[in-house]
């Protein structure tokens, strides 16, 4: 079989689509015939070496996948050959990545793919959906009727936050860079979609959130959080989620934070246990069944063109080129 691997960290062209032995499913693992994978910003940080994880080379890239179970290893209980599955959290902590024709995956990281969902859509929503669900529910304890703000409802995590918060009965404010993208945010469930460059942005957020006394959950997806303005827009006992910006060192207004009983919550999805992630996977499947979950695929490539896919992700996440709307999906 073939897999997209790197032999050292470096630029996107370090990825090689090469012949490798087909993996055998070990105890507790299933062998998945990969139908689709998706790119996430973290894939590019691992590949470039920007996030220094202990990697064993050659390293197969990729966290997300969807496909069909081909064989089951010893002791597996949840899946059988022929079952369609999706999952994330691979390519981390010694687990092999997903950008390959076959992947041996611990069954605790997999969820059944709903009948009406393509492998492409299941893979596109995997890491971003689990991240959004963990942030909104495990960490921020979102309640129906509360107001949520998320920057970049056109992005992978942002769109997932919009859909899951809306499905839970929250009021959702988001931002995006163009009117076309803002319209897509509204269709995904945003009650208010604003231009993040607008000079009236904060007033518009404040006015909309006034009905609930301010924003209850601020889900920050940007790598340079702006606490001075954000904290002033939160409701009493509001929760502020941080999940991006490893190098950021922003100023922090302590007084307005504590006198309003605010809470600051940081998390990385890959720290969540398989049991915690399964709660998210099942909720995402339930949202799919209810017609409330539709990942947006922006571009598709063959897996052999993984370097182009990584380059496109970087141009948007790191350089802000705005040439991508939706997830990048690859197929074998
Ligand atoms: N902690 C975790 O577990 C975790 C998990 C997943 C991702 N992340 C991190 O979260 C971040 C977002 O990931 P993603 O996959 O959602 O990225 P993405 O798909 O590239 O989305 C980025 C979003 O940011 C928006 N944006 C760009 N400039 C903006 C600005 N000045 N103000 C407000 N929004 C702006 C973009 O909007 P337009 O396209 O409309 O310009 C787009 O919607 C990344 O840094 C990633 O590494 C962390």
Query: Can you tell me the mean pLDDT for 268-285?
Result: 98
Q: Is 175 a pocket residue for ligand 1 (Cβ < 6 Å)?
A: yes
The predicted-structure confidence for 118-136, as pLDDT tens digits, reads as follows: 999 999 999 999 999 999 9
Atom of ligand 1 nearest to the CA of 153: 43
Q: Are 248 and 220 a contacting pair, CB within 8 Å?
A: no
Query: CA 305, 309, 313: angle at the middle one, nearest 5?
Result: 170
- Residue 330 Cα to ligand 1 midpoint, Å, equals 20
Distance CA 57, CA 119 (A): 28
SS (H, E, C) the chain: CEEEEECCCCCHHHCEEEECCCCCCCCCEEEEEEEEEECCHHHHHHHHCCCCCCCCCCEECCCCEEEEEEEECCCCCCCCCCCEEEECCCCCCCCCCCCECEEEEEHHHEEECCCCCCHHHHHHCHHHHHHHHHHHHHHCCCCCCCEEEECCCCCHHHHHHHHHHHHCCCEEEEEECCHHHHHHHHHHCCCEEEECCCCCHHHHHHHHHHHHCCEEEEEECCCCCCHHHHHHHEEEEEEEEECCCCCCCCCCCHHHHHCCCCEEEECCHHHCCHHHHHHHHHHHHHHHHCCCCCCCEEEEEEHHHHHHHHHHHHHHHCCCCCCCCCEEEEEC
Q: Are 173 and 189 a contacting pair, CB within 8 Å?
A: no
Whether 117 shows a pLDDT value over 90: the answer reads yes
- Residue 318 Cα to ligand 1 midpoint, Å, equals 9
The predicted-structure confidence for 17-46, as pLDDT tens digits, reads as follows: 999 999 999 999 999 999 999 999 999 999
Q: Is 89 a pocket residue for ligand 1 (Cβ < 6 Å)?
A: no
Distance CA 214, CA 216 (A): 6
Q: Is 157 a pocket residue for ligand 1 (Cβ < 6 Å)?
A: yes
Which residue segments constitute the domains of the chain, with CATH numbers given? 2-125+295-331 (3.90.180.10), 128-269 (3.40.50.720)
> What is the pLDDT, as a whole number, of residue 296?
96
Q: Are 12 and 303 a contacting pair, CB within 8 Å?
A: no
- Grade residue 53 by pLDDT with cuts at 50, 70 and 90: confident
pTM above 0.95, yes or no: yes
- Residue 155 Cα to ligand 1 midpoint, Å, equals 5
**Residue 299: which residues within 8 A CB-CB, separation 6 or more?**
309, 312, 324, 326, 328, 329
Whether 52 shows a pLDDT value over 90: the answer reads no
Query: Can you tell me the mean pLDDT for 303-310?
Result: 98
What are the angstrom distances between the C-alpha of 212 and each of 218, 235, 262?
13, 8, 15
- Residue 322 Cα to ligand 1 midpoint, Å, equals 11
Joined tokens for residue 67: 């496909």
**Residue 92: which residues within 8 A CB-CB, separation 6 or more?**
53, 63, 270
Query: Of 127, 154, 190, 221, which is best to mutate to test ligand 1, by the most ligand atoms within 8 angstroms of its C-beta?
Result: 221
- Grade residue 320 by pLDDT with cuts at 50, 70 and 90: confident
Distance CA 169, CA 152 (A): 20
Exposed e or buried b per residue across 9-45, where buried means at least 16 C-beta atoms within 10 angstroms of its C-beta = beebebbebeebeebebeebbbbbbbbbbbbbbbbbb
Whether 168 shows a pLDDT value over 90: the answer reads yes
Q: Using the structure block, give the residue that is written with the tokens 């839970």.
A: 168
> What is the pLDDT, as a whole number, of residue 198?
98
Q: Is 150 a pocket residue for ligand 1 (Cβ < 6 Å)?
A: no
> What is the pLDDT, as a whole number, of residue 322?
85
Distance CA 257, CA 237 (A): 10
- Residue 101 Cα to ligand 1 midpoint, Å, equals 28
Whether 311 shows a pLDDT value over 90: the answer reads yes
Query: Can you tell me the mean pLDDT for 197-221?
Result: 98
Query: Can you tell me the mean pLDDT for 302-315?
Result: 98
Query: Can you tell me the mean pLDDT for 78-101?
Result: 97
Query: Can you tell me the mean pLDDT for 311-327?
Result: 92
Query: Can you tell me the mean pLDDT for 164-180?
Result: 97
């Amino acid at each position: 079989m073939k897999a997209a691997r790197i032999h050292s960290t470096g630029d996107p062209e370090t990825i090689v689509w090469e012949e490798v032995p087909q993996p055998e499913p070990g105890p507790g693992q299933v062998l998945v015939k990969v139908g689709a994978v998706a790119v996430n910003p973290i894939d590019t940080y691992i590949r470039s070496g920007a996030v220094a994880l202990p990697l064993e080379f050659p390293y197969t890239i990729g966290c997300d996948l969807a496909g069909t179970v081909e064989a089951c290893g010893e002791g597996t209980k949840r899946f059988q050959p022929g079952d369609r599955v999706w999952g994330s959290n691979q390519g981390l902590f010694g687990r092999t990545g997903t950008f390959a024709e076959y992947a041996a995956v611990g069954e605790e990281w997999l969820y059944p793919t709903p009948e009406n969902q393509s492998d492409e859509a299941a893979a596109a929503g995997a890491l971003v959906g689990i991240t959004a669900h963990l942030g909104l529910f495990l960490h921020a304890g979102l309640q129906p009727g509360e107001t949520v703000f998320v920057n970049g409802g056109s992005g992978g995590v942002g769109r997932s936050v919009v859909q899951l918060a809306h499905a839970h009965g929250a009021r959702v404010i988001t931002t995006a860079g163009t009117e076309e993208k803002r319209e897509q945010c509204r269709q995904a469930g945003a009650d208010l979609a604003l231009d993040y460059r607008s000079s009236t942005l904060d007033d518009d957020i404040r006015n909309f959130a006034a009905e609930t006394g301010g924003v209850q959950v601020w889900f920050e997806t940007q790598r340079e959080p702006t606490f001075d303005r954000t904290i002033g827009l939160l409701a009493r006992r509001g929760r502020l989620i941080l999940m991006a910006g490893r190098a950021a060192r922003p100023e922090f207004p302590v007084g307005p934070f504590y006198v309003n009983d605010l809470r600051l919550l940081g998390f990385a999805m890959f720290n969540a246990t398989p049991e915690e992630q399964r709660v998210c996977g099942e909720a995402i499947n339930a949202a799919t069944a209810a017609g409330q979950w539709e990942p947006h695929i922006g571009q598709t490539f063959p897996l052999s063109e993984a370097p182009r896919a990584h380059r496109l992700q970087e141009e948007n996440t790191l350089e802000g080129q705005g040439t991508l709307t939706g997830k990048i999906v690859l197929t074998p």
